Amino acid sequence: MTALSPLRQPAKRYLLWCANEHIEFRIPEINAISSMFNIPLMWIDKPKEDPYLIVEMRNEGDARRLMSRCMLVRSCFELWGQGNTEEELHSSIKLFPLDMMKPHLAPEKTFRVRVESFNKTLKNAEKLKKIESLSYLPFEGKVDLKHASTCLHLLEYYGLHPNETHRGPYKLFLGRWVVDGQRELISKFSLKSRTYIGSTSMDAQLSFIMANFAQVQPGSTIVDPFVGTGSVLVAAAQFGGHAWGWDIDYLTLHARTKPTRHSQKERTAGESILSNFEQYGLKHKYLDVVVMDNARPFWRDVPYVDAIITDPPYGIREAMERVGTVKGPKTAEDTIKQQSSSHHFPSKMNYNLSDVYCDLINFAARHLVVGGRLVFWLPVFREDYDENHIPSHPCLRIVFNCEQVLTVHASRRLITLVKTRHPQEGEVGKCQVTDLNAKFRDKFFQAASLTKEERASLKSMFPRDKRGQGLAYRLGESKNKTKVLKMEAASECSSGQHNMLLDICSKLPHLANLSLVKFTFGGRVAMDHRVYTRQFEFKLGGRTVNAAPRHFVCATLCSASVGTNSGDLSPTWPLPGKKVVPVGVRTMVVAARTKVGKGKEWKSGSYSPYITSY
């Protein structure tokens, strides 16, 4: 963990300007990285929601090392001054030691001042005035707007809420840019260009965050017991870990599942987990993948793993499987798999979600080195959640627990556990994990046998408008009336298949003007699947509001399906209105009417898909 006691030597203050998403993960990520590199760090200002942090570190070298792994910090600035008003800012700057400023503004250096505002647009004339207000600084070098060696940034922060921007800035900062974080990895490793993906592939940003929580370093041995398409391991490999993965799903490991990309009809020979590593020059970090059942592992009982980083099934989208006899009909999938007697694919029975996590916890306790970490996602039914739902083991201690909200009712938590000692004979873990699938599905399908009261409470889980159409949420019905969460803006979409699935989670009690409201995303984001809309009419809690397409990101149908692949839901447009379709935790279908415009492969007419969530 970070050093909380004051740094004993002279320290420098740094402003960390953060990404406006995954807020709960921000500080833990910095803590994980600083403890991994033994960077003493003192927190000066850590607001709960505002996208900046102020820390003290010993020197710029430490700052650069921290940022060399940071996904959620955009940029790091050496802080020269701050204030709540322009006056305060300038007074603060004037207190900053001149001998710390001068070397960067010396005659042989070039400089540039940039004015940036968060949540407000400033006109160029305004910006120029602000730059001129800094003329008292000891500038000695020449201005170079393109390649300056010293970049000063004047940051004006107008808060997170659009309605407050008419007042002055909430906070102002002046900082000298030091280095950026690693956000460029997000596009470089985007699933859009990944060779082999499936419906369970973890998005790049979260995979890297998981690798940071696990403190992956060059030379570490990393494993993923639910490797799927290897997306989590790729990020760990990029940070230097050598990776083993395994999975019970033979077809996924051999890349013979049905493709989830809309435009793709069949898997190509080049697709495999190894190909994902090769794509980024990481084949040297790929050890092996194995078809294996976690309930019956084949690993030697020695602690050989530095970190386990994984995304187990949540019990909703993927059937959880274990080898065993079940007195029931074989599923179609099982039948297809029985290709030849030499490759007998055993029929599988479901085992409950708690067993899945128990097996994982016990494997971790036995096979991690002491000090090694287990990082995994845990599905949570928000109303019921309490800390006891986190799988536990006497040898594993909780380090982080960060929630990513997916829908009004469900979220997933990224849990990080560290192994403190080796287990003694008979010491096992305890797991009591909510199976969201069971919770929602059973409640829904047993509707007939519900009492009147139960049916009424069920209604709030599947809210509908007057016409009986499913709606994602009834604003104001959710227990936690917290503020709007952040948005991933979408760029314009164009395409063919009209499966408009948007992950939307809004906890705003009311929506006055939708175009100013921001939505957050839980989970799945678009993968080469785009829709061209001109006007988007959005039904929300009985009202109709318009929203520009740029507020939405289209998600592919693959995240809507029940089961391992997309396509379980018929990908036609529109989706059946009255039917509440049980879909994966990561998705919701939007209720809206689109006026369809130009673009090829575009059906004419207007469509009304529906929002369902649970």
Partner 1 sequence: MKLMTHNMLTSKGMKNVKEGFPLKIQAEEMRNVDIDYDRDFITRMIPKLDWKALVFAAQCVGHKEDLPDTLPEGYENDNELLKRLHHVLLEVEVVSGCLECPETQRKFPISNGIPNMLLNEDEV
Residues that bind partner 1 (CB under 8 A): 218-219, 221, 242, 244, 248, 250, 253-254, 272, 274, 283-284, 287-293, 296-304, 323-325, 342-347
Three-class secondary structure of residue 355 per DSSP: helix
How does DSSP assign 194-247, residue by residue? Answer: -SS--TTPPPHHHHHHHHHHTT--TT-EEEETT-TTSHHHHHHHHTT-EEEEEE
- Distance of closest approach, residue 291 Cβ to partner 1, in angstroms: 4
Q: Are the CB atoms for 604 and 596 separated by under 8 Å? A: yes
Sign of the CA dihedral with 72 first, then 76, 79, and 83 last: negative
Q: Among residues 303 and 577, whose Cβ is nearest to partner 1?
A: 303
- Distance of closest approach, residue 303 Cβ to partner 1, in angstroms: 8
Q: Among residues 134 and 273, whose Cβ is nearest to partner 1?
A: 273
Q: Among residues 333 and 465, whose Cβ is nearest to partner 1?
A: 333
Q: Among residues 14 and 363, whose Cβ is nearest to partner 1?
A: 363
- Distance of closest approach, residue 6 Cβ to partner 1, in angstroms: 35
- Distance of closest approach, residue 363 Cβ to partner 1, in angstroms: 12
Q: Are the CB atoms for 130 and 115 separated by under 8 Å? A: yes
Q: Among residues 335 and 572, whose Cβ is nearest to partner 1?
A: 335
Q: Among residues 62 and 293, whose Cβ is nearest to partner 1?
A: 293
- Distance of closest approach, residue 105 Cβ to partner 1, in angstroms: 42
Q: Give how far Cα 235 sits from Cα of 110, 207, 285, Å.
A: 37, 6, 11
Q: Among residues 214 and 408, whose Cβ is nearest to partner 1?
A: 214
**Strand 348-349 and strand 322-323: pairing?**
antiparallel
User: Which segments within 316-470 are labelled E, that is strand?
Assistant: 322-323, 348-349, 368-381, 396-405, 410-419
Q: Give how far Cα 300 sits from Cα of 110, 242, 310, 363, 367, Å.
A: 60, 18, 20, 11, 9
Q: How many CB atoms lie within 10 A of CB 166?
A: 7
Q: Are the CB atoms for 403 and 206 separated by under 8 Å? A: no
| Whole-number Å distance between alpha carbons of 451 and 207 | 44
Q: Among residues 349 and 438, whose Cβ is nearest to partner 1?
A: 349
| Whole-number Å distance between alpha carbons of 568 and 583 | 10
- Distance of closest approach, residue 254 Cβ to partner 1, in angstroms: 6
Q: Are the CB atoms for 310 and 226 separated by under 8 Å? A: yes
- Distance of closest approach, residue 612 Cβ to partner 1, in angstroms: 36
Q: Among residues 276 and 437, whose Cβ is nearest to partner 1?
A: 276
Q: Give how far Cα 405 sits from Cα of 102, 270, 475, 575, 587, Å.
A: 47, 35, 16, 25, 12
Q: Are the CB atoms for 159 and 171 separated by under 8 Å? A: no
Q: Among residues 250 and 445, whose Cβ is nearest to partner 1?
A: 250
408 secondary structure, DSSP code: S
Q: CB-based contacts of 378: which residues, under 8 Å, 6+ apart?
A: 357, 389, 390, 391, 412, 413, 414, 415, 433
Tokens of 426: 């008979």
- Distance of closest approach, residue 269 Cβ to partner 1, in angstroms: 11
- Distance of closest approach, residue 362 Cβ to partner 1, in angstroms: 12
| Whole-number Å distance between alpha carbons of 179 and 406 | 32
| Whole-number Å distance between alpha carbons of 137 and 485 | 38
Q: Give how far Cα 288 sits from Cα of 224, 277, 342, 527, Å.
A: 11, 11, 22, 27
- Distance of closest approach, residue 304 Cβ to partner 1, in angstroms: 4
Residue with the two structure tokens 């950026």: 180
Q: Among residues 303 and 567, whose Cβ is nearest to partner 1?
A: 303
Q: Among residues 86 and 278, whose Cβ is nearest to partner 1?
A: 278
- Distance of closest approach, residue 292 Cβ to partner 1, in angstroms: 5
- Distance of closest approach, residue 336 Cβ to partner 1, in angstroms: 16
